[in-house]
Structure 1
Amino acid sequence: MKLKEKVKNLPKEPGVYLMKNKRGKIIYVGKAKSLRSRVGSYFQSSKHQRFKTKVLVENIVDFDYIITDTEVEALILENNLIKKYHPKYNIQLKDDKTYPYIKVTEKEVYPRIFKTRIVKNDGARYFGPYTDVKAVNDILELLHDMFQLRTCKRDLTEKKEERACLNFHIDKCSAPCINEISIKEYNKLIEKSIMILEGKEDTLIKELDKKMQEASKNLDFEDAAKLRDQIRAINKVSKKQKIISDRLINQDIIALAQTDNDICVQLLIVRSGRLIGKENFIFTEANDLKETLTAFLQQYYDNAYYIPEEILLELEIDDLELINQWLSEEKGSKVELKVPKIGEKRELVQMAYRNARYNLKEYRFKNKFNSLKANTGVKELQEYLGLEEMPYRIEGFDISHVQGTDTVASLVVFENGQPKKSDYRRFKIKHGQGNNDFLSMKEVVTRRYSRLLKEGKKFPDLILIDGGKGQLSSAVEIISELGRPGEQMIGLAKREEEVFLPGQSEPIILPKDSQALYLIQRVRDEAHRFAVSYHRKLRSRRLTHSMLDEIPGIGPKRREALLNYFGSLGEIKNASIEELAEVSGISDKVASKIRSYLDEHIQP
């Protein structure tokens, strides 16, 4: 069926469409108020279409669609499918950092306050996200020093400890574990801590000042001095935060700057009228400000634990009302997206724009500088090693295992001195002979380059093997057997950073301060990092699956549900029965069995 005929049979209802290329791969995901009219617009006259859309349409061979009840549902589904398939032509927020939160375990008898990057529906209270890790550490240090809050993970619901730890003796903890402080008094300290986290320092300072005056009148100078020090510490933290508004308002302020196909989205985070953090996100190969802003709002707030009451934007977008409705439903209360034209709020947006413009300029300068350095490294490498061709594309290999178990290999690619992560590959080694790096290197080189030959693809300009003459010889032998004996290859030995060339017994020592040495070290280190991370992932998965499979009543579905919910075996180990029972498919009875098994088999 031709595409235009298929479009005619589409429903006029809201939904999501998935464009596919000739290999059946999803290359674009979009939402529509009416599937028939939206999808049909792609196959009409291309005269007024943007260049990116024209390229997309040229690659569309087929499409699928999913009908939804509402446009908001389509918006949510679109975002989930983009995260799942990573389509080539969608704008994606590639920033994969997990921001820190401050967690208050209010359900515990003696609550703890600590930093975390995992947010769960566990009854605890979370503050954040914070973009400045140092600021989080400073706040936590202040709270623990000021109020002597506990940092241990001891369960204090039942029995008390016989003696306190060292923190109590150096005045770093109030020792609830030995009943040195009552639950009521301890919770007052937690309440004061929460006031600071909520930005209510002024109210807390007034309370502390009143108590300090009373202590002074009663000649209790020691308590008065403690209260004075607490007030000074709070003032010190609050001064670091710029006051944006005298209203205790929570806002996110977003603006964009663009140069060529690079766009910087600048986010300013205001809580209780104070600017507590800022973050910028760079989108490359993006040329539409409105499309980029829409994608950012969808993807950023889908992962955000906290959505403020007000979000100020620099420019209007087509889906403003739709995203406003979605965010209000997510928050459970009204959220307002505004595009201020005049006044104080417009000035805040302009401040965000100035930050975006500066950060984009800095990003492009660094890229240009790094590109020049990398290009110098490529030229120097050709010169120092006497290579026939300039090594524009370099492929580097490394092997990783622990005593021959879970052996893997990595392939990393650098083009013009810069990593090209989309071309990275990883391999599970199949030879089954344990700790044999030579055999592993032979296998991975064979698999890589026999495939390139089969697909008729070009070989790299330089192949870098992590290791000395032995590993290099193994790789050279394989390449020769494949009928490509003239390929440029080198081996890099770690100990003295010696470079070995095929057929030469003596190594080449590159100048320590040369960009050529720096380049091949980067390739080698990146290959090592990529191999080790894959090895750890496989090993962790094997050990985790093995442990969970031994628990009575836990099959593959429940195991996956537990891992998806908690993220790791470590988190499962620390979970209570109530937390385990929150997982889909885990009943109270099964949760109790899991907890009993873990308590019996895992040593504290």
Structure 2
Amino acid sequence: MNPKLPELRKKAMALPLLPGVYIMHAKDSEIIYIGKAKALKNRVSQYFGSQNNHAEKVRRMVDNVDWFEYIITDSEFEALILECSLIKQHTPKYNILLKDDKGYSYIRVGAGDWGKLSYVLQKQDDGATYIGPYKSSYYVKSAVEEANKIFMLPTCNRKFPQDFGKARPCLNYHIKQCMAPCTGRVKLSEYRESMEQALDFLKGGSSNSVKQLTTQMEEAAENLEFERAARIRDKIAAVKKMGDKQKVVANKVLDEDVIAAFSDGTKTCFQVFRFEGGRLFDRESFIVDSGESDTEEFILRYYTLRPDVPKNIAVDTEWEGMDEVARWLSEKRGSKVNLTVPQRGEQAQLVNMCRSNAAEALAQQKGATVREYGVLEELKELLGLDTLPEYIESYDISNLNGSENVAGMIVYQNGKPLKSAYRKFKIKGFEGQDDYASMAEVLTRRFEEYRRAEGGEGFGRLPDLILLDGGAGQVHAVRDVMEKMDIDVPLFGLVKDDKHRTRAVTGDGGEIAISSRRQLFTFLSKMQDEVHRFAIGYHHARRSKNTFRSSLTTIDGVGEVRAKALLKYFRTIDNISKADLEELEAAPKMTKDSALAVYRYFHGGDSPQE
């Protein structure tokens, strides 16, 4: 914690209740954060009060503040203008900084008769033909991909005509997305016609392309070229189908940006959908290292980088000072900008779609899917967690009337089992059956390993959530352990019904029903079944091993110690039964007499000579 907090708070409490901009400095006087405030005293003093309610990013920033300064303005709007200017000038470490990487994109037509169609970010001196530049890389990429599919052009790495007939056509040929010139059976004239039609489609759009294709189809039919006419007819149908898909996206949206965010508690993804003429022409995704989705700061940074501001901007959340931001956007555009939070209808659906794509982008970065992230988000809301439970540990106890008392720990990371992190525990502290004491012992040993590891993977990290197979008794037993060891991790139990099915989640505040939440119910049920399978599997393995060991102790001269040593040395009873006398004598803890007794036990009393 910053040792200068009391001094900084005292200085903050002396600030005026006026609008302005505050500037945070580190020890070397580097500017690390710039913000605006409607009332400087109220806003700045919040940073230097209790740190418990701050996000991790804010706590890190406050820990590095050595001193701050401020500039008073006549209005909050003037503060906003000044804040944008200062951030652009100093690029502070803890502000949201977006890289303006919106370069130009080109459509590339490869050199030669059999050139391929692709999209690139830079022109090369390679003899190819380049069409562009285009501002939206998303639009160019999508358009080229659609053109290649519709007109069945190859996208593989094979070179023509060098690779004619060298290999069988790939999957794209079989699903009718490539004419397969690699077979050597496609005429050059046919290939060039498809390439020209694809370029007409990219240059003129779907409506002009349909007109031109229709003319070509009619000409082919008049010339009795029915096969060619049929191919063109199929291309017309594909172009129309693609156009229909685009219309479904936003048939009432004209010029508009849609902005939404998704946060997992540690990172936030902002997604921007840009519409023009009712068509999605660009899409951008930005991931920032902050668990707080500060939409206001993102919008200020985003449109500082963009020269054009649309007439309408739809966002997914409201904030104080929204009118000042709309006014700033309007001045930048030169006419009024409508900044809204849609609540119903198509606009609300677009915002939800934008948020879903933000969740998908964040999930993909962590190796998950939006479905898995959706379940984790639902679990977070149900249990009232501060962050998304990306790393979950679940525990179960297994025994038979108090014998072979063991426990299993499984781990789910990003909504999927992480089997490399599974762990087994043999209960050592007592004999007999006591699930509460067993669970307390297991978690005690787990947290002791955490203390010893001092960071890292496995036991070196704390989970975001602990789930116990059991009810309030197990939760209370482990809660006592965590309080004594000063471990702060959300803890809940999974309660089963009389048919051994997951029924509810229990914590300190009673049971929480999950039966009405289908996806969450399925997720938790699978997790509880998995930890039960893992624990009982370990229990059965130990019982089987001890059953074999007990059968060895019936042999004269073989006690518990020798039986255990034999099993450890030979691994299985079958290996012991097949061993010769010399091998048995060479085993640890064995004597000639005991080795002979074991040999005779498995060979019907015969001696080796017999």
Give the TM-score normalised by the residue count of structure 1: 0.42
Give the TM-score normalised by the residue count of structure 2: 0.41
